């Protein structure tokens, strides 16, 4: 599950930690419900997976509407509930939502920057039955963290990570890595060790939303990756049985695409702040979507009958080279959103795949990133930060 909050949202299968959700033999069930409670966020991460035009969404679902969504998804077999955003802590009803979700039997995951939280809030959430808090860091040092987050949050995050641990939660730290912070991976892991993290996710930036907009400035270089990977594996060995480290390889450097969402409409369901139901959190950008909304239809209707959720299910929609490929059941042709963003057709093979006739687009993107990285600092394009002002400017409203 890719990875989080205002940060990057995660999908089952994007980390080793989610392997238990690979229930391929079961009937399709929305096992993973990602509730993007709000687009409000105090951070401005330039790799955010929220849509560029998020500032256009004004009306969020009410408490009652969210609870209906939770209930309906739970009845269909959902076990994991991700509370994300934006920053979910900006929802005044967060404690109530967690209390009710926990009563329904969900395993509740709060995916947060920690900004807006204090030690009392952490304890209150625990009391409400929250199972897990994932705190995201932008980097291991104050300066870089704050630069990337576009705010002065680092010290507070450290405090909150400690409060999470002190309240008896498993501590899961998430670092979204990219060109600007990946060379600090050893410092990042040392920080995690000093905070006594139970799990660390080194999630590579995935290029959707704001991250796509900033791709030239975020794509890591090959030598950066090789170094980072070697360090991550060394720490994995050293920390075995102590701290679990998930290291996700960036797909732009792979020859085969990721099994995105474990297959379209297979286990994963996202509900956006305004109630739109999506098979993945980036799918709103695809052309031809009907964008069913929980205010008009039940989760059952949306999951089983809607055009959107059936559109790329199974294998019939595939074109060549996927259609006749013996690996299609492994990766489902990769990511529909990436296929659309790069090739213009969401039914094309994900161009990450070296069998794709469009694979050169990935290589060109890497080359473009390399050219950008080799420019003198003063000539490099500035990162565009995720905030309402930039959202309005870029989306033109």
Partner 1 sequence: MTESVFSADSVPMLALGYRFQWEPAQDCFVLLYPEGMVKLNPAAAEILKRIEQKKQTVAELIAELKVAFDGADLDDDVYQFLEEAHDNSWIRAE
Residues that bind partner 1 (CB under 8 A): 1, 10, 12, 15, 17-21, 23, 26, 29, 31-32, 75-77, 79-80, 82, 105, 107, 109, 131-132, 134, 168-170, 172, 198-199, 244
Nearer to partner 1, 2 or 356 (CB): 2
Nearest approach in angstroms of CB 69 to partner 1 is: 16
Unique residue bearing structure tokens 């955003």? 85
Rounded to an integer, what distance in angstroms lies between the CA atom of residue 370 and that of residue 155?
A: 33
What is the distance between the alpha carbons of residues 31 and 206, in angstroms, rounded to a whole number?
22
Name which of 78 and 383 has its Cβ closer to partner 1.
78
Nearer to partner 1, 201 or 216 (CB): 201
For residues 387 and 52, what is the distance between their CA atoms, to the nearest angstrom? 9
Residue 17 or 388 with smaller CB distance to partner 1: 17
**Segments in 214-250 forming alpha helices (H):** 215-218, 222-238
**Shortest distance (Å) from residue 17 CB to partner 1:** 6
Cβ 204 to partner 1 shortest distance, Å: 17
Burial class (CB in 10 A: 0-12, 13-18, 19+), 191: buried
The residue among 27 and 378 lying less far from partner 1, judged by its C-beta, is 27
Q: Specify the residue, 89 or 133, whose C-beta has the smaller distance to partner 1.
A: 133
Q: What minimum distance in Å lies between the beta carbon of 24 and partner 1? A: 12
Least spacing, CB of residue 16 vs partner 1, in Å: 9
From the CB of 368, what's the least distance to partner 1, in Å? Answer: 33
In whole angstroms, the minimum distance from the beta carbon of 57 to partner 1 comes to 25
**Of 159, 177, 356, 346, the residue nearest 256 (C-alpha):** 356
Of residues 218, 249, 142, 241, the one with CA closest to residue 187: 142
CA atoms of 110 and 294, how far apart (whole Å): 22
Task: Between 29 and 146, name the residue whose CB sits nearer to partner 1.
Answer: 29
* 105 within 8 A of 80, measured Cβ to Cβ: no
The Cα 172–Cα 325 span in angstroms is 37
**Whose Cβ is closer to partner 1: residue 82's or residue 85's?**
82
Q: What angle do CA 83, 280, 307 make, to 5 degrees?
A: 125
Nearest distance from residue 378's CB to partner 1, in Å?
A: 41
The residue among 238 and 320 lying less far from partner 1, judged by its C-beta, is 238
Least Å from the CB of residue 38 to partner 1: 20
Check the CA dihedral 337-338-344-350 and report its sign: negative
- ∠ CA 139-142-143, nearest 5°, is 95
**CA dist 304 → 59, 286, 289, 310, 312 (Å):** 26, 20, 15, 8, 13
Helices (H), 129-254: 142-149, 154-166, 185-194, 209-213, 215-218, 222-238
Say how far apart CA 246 and CA 233 lie, in whole Å: 10
Query: In the complex with partner 1, which residue's Cβ is closer, 26 or 363?
Result: 26
**264 in Cβ contact with 313 (< 8 Å):** yes
Q: How far is the CB of 131 from partner 1 (least distance, A)?
A: 7
């Amino acid at each position: 599950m890719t990875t989080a909050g205002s940060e990057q949202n995660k999908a089952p299968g994007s980390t080793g930690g989610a392997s238990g959700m690979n229930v391929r033999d079961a009937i399709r069930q929305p096992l993973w419900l990602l509730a993007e409670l709000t687009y409000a966020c105090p951070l401005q991460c330039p790799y955010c997976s929220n849509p560029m035009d998020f500032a256009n969404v004004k009306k969020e679902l009410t408490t009652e509407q969210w609870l209906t969504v939770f209930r309906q998804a739970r009845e269909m077999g959902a076990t994991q509930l991700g509370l994300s955003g934006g920053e979910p802590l900006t929802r005044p009803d967060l404690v109530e939502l967690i209390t009710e979700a926990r009563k329904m039997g969900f395993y509740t995951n709060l995916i947060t920057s920690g900004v807006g939280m204090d030690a009392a809030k952490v304890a209150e959430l625990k009391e409400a039955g929250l199972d897990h808090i994932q705190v995201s860091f932008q980097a291991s040092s104050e300066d870089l963290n704050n630069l990337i987050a576009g705010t002065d949050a680092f010290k507070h995050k450290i405090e909150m990570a400690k409060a999470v641990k002190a309240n008896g939660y498993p501590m899961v730290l998430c670092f979204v890595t990219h060109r600007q912070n990946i060379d600090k991976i050893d410092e990042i892991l040392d920080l995690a060790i000093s905070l006594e993290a139970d799990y660390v996710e080194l999630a590579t930036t995935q290029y959707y939303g704001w991250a796509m907009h900033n791709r030239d400035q975020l794509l890591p270089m090959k030598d950066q990756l090789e170094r980072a990977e070697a360090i991550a594996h060394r720490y994995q060995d050293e920390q075995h049985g102590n701290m679990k480290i998930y290291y996700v390889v960036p797909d732009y450097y792979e020859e085969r695409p990721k099994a995105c969402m474990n297959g379209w409409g297979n286990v994963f369901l996202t509900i956006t702040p305004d109630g739109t139901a999506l098979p993945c959190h980036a799918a709103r950008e695809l052309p031809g979507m009907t964008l069913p909304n929980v205010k008009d239809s039940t989760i059952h209707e949306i999951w089983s009958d809607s055009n959107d959720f059936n559109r790329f299910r199974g294998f019939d929609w595939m074109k060549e080279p996927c259609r006749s490929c013996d690996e299609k059941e492994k990766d489902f042709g990769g990511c529909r959103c990436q296929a659309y963003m790069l090739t213009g057709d969401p039914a094309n093979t994900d161009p990450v795949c070296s069998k794709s006739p469009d694979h050169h687009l990935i290589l060109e993107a890497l080359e473009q990133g390399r050219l950008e990285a080799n420019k003198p600092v003063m000539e490099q394009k500035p990162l565009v930060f995720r905030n309402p002002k930039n959202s309005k400017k870029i989306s033109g409203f």
